Amino acid sequence: MQIREVEQSAGLPAKTIRYYEEIGLVRPNRQDNGYRIYSTEDVHRLRFLQRARGLGFSIEDCRALLSLYDETGRESADVRAIAEAHLDEIDRKIRELKGMRQTLAHLVHACHGDDRPDCPILDDLAGIGDGV
Amino acid sequence: MQIREVEQSAGLPAKTIRYYEEIGLVRPNRQDNGYRIYSTEDVHRLRFLQRARGLGFSIEDCRALLSLYDETGRESADVRAIAEAHLDEIDRKIRELKGMRQTLAHLVHACHGDDRPDCPILDDLAGIGDGV
DNA sequence: ATAAAGCTTCTAGCTACTGGAAGGTCAAGC
DNA sequence: GCTTGACCTTCCAGTAGCTAGAAGCTTTAT
């Protein structure tokens, strides 16, 4: 299978697929003309990567997950540990964004948003009203 | 005020303060020896940046907000538009993370996480069970 | 024969910093 | 006067994860 076809089946752009090869995640063979040729196993790994990245796992997490996937004698606890750490990280990010959201929504609500120059959003950013 | 002191009052590392100068957000004067010297106005702008970045505004948003802040004849609607667009973006990210969270929490829950090799997390990433 | 589509490698750029090296400046202590 | 240490400076490189684009080879169709 050539790269253009793999784009479809893995759901990844060709550039990304080549990049994943560059960093050693997938190693397709080459045809005599130098073209990459992907086995079903390669495509499988790429799809694995596409899903894992879609769940927000870092490239290094993906590398670890792939190597656990290759290991027949792996312990599911190892996989679960990676997933749980990532889950904690996602929760942390959600909390962080919710904090921003709350402040910002409050400010947007307070701003009349017309042609007048006074603006609670800028006032807040400038620190007006916090005693500085 | 020298940079080490500004670190404290603006709540930003010196490296970041210099970086903000490099990209034209803050322009401190220099002493004869070449050292940066910050006016209260400079510190004010840095604190503004610290807060805006803390709310997740991009550097380019910050640039726009600062220039609106400088403009006495600005319209608050312009500020509000930037803030609302950012709010939408935050909401989008929260939704995205929540989607990941849900899938991942489900998988972690399904994984027994012991020394056995079978693992629903890897099975899902590999696409087992989705008909492919 | 030639044009279009597909492949290759390589370099550079994106965001927003961060770390580190090499070196100038200044105040204190001996 | 000299040294030590804490400042300060600039410049270069690296982080994550691609993405854009240039220059050039191969294959296929007309």
Residue A14, pLDDT above cutoff 70? yes
What gap in Å lies between CA B76 and CA B57, rounded to an integer? 17
What gap in Å lies between CA A112 and CA A122, rounded to an integer? 12
Cβ neighbours of A83 (radius 10 Å): 25
User: Which nucleotides of chain C have an atom under 7 angstroms from any protein CB?
Assistant: 6-9, 15-19, 25-26
Give B75 to chain A, closest Cα distance, Å.
4
CATH number at residue B22: 1.10.1660.10
3-class DSSP state of B18: helix
Task: List chain B pLDDT tens, one digit each, 132 residues.
Answer: 999 999 999 999 999 999 999 999 999 999 999 999 999 999 999 999 999 999 999 999 999 999 999 998 899 999 999 999 999 999 999 999 999 999 999 999 999 888 889 899 999 999 887 655
Residue B63 lies in a domain: yes
Mean pLDDT of chain A: 94
Mean pLDDT of A26-54: 96
Cβ A27 to strand C below 7 Å: no
DSSP for A16-30 reads HHHHHHHTTS---EE
Domain that holds residue A19: 3-106
* Owner of token pair 């792996």: A74
Contacts of B123 in chain A (CB under 8 A): none
- pLDDT given for residue B132 in this prediction: 52
Residue A117 lies in a domain: no
> How many independent structural domains does chain B possess?
1
Residue A12, pLDDT above cutoff 70? yes
Contact call for A125 and B51, based on CB within 8 A: yes
Cβ B32 to strand C below 7 Å: yes
What gap in Å lies between CA B59 and CA A58, rounded to an integer? 24
Residue B50 lies in a domain: yes
- pLDDT given for residue A132 in this prediction: 53
pLDDT in tens, A41-72: 999 999 999 999 999 999 999 999 999 999 98
- pLDDT given for residue B23 in this prediction: 95
- pLDDT given for residue A49 in this prediction: 97
Nearest C-alpha neighbor of A77 from the set B114, B122, B111, B124: B114
B53: which nucleotide lies closest, measuring CA to C1'? C16
CA of B20 to C1' of C24 (A): 23
pLDDT in tens, A64-91: 999 999 998 899 999 999 999 999 999 9
Q: What single-letter amino acid sits at B115?
A: D
Contacts of A97 in chain B (CB under 8 A): 56, 90, 93-94, 97
Residue B81 lies in a domain: no
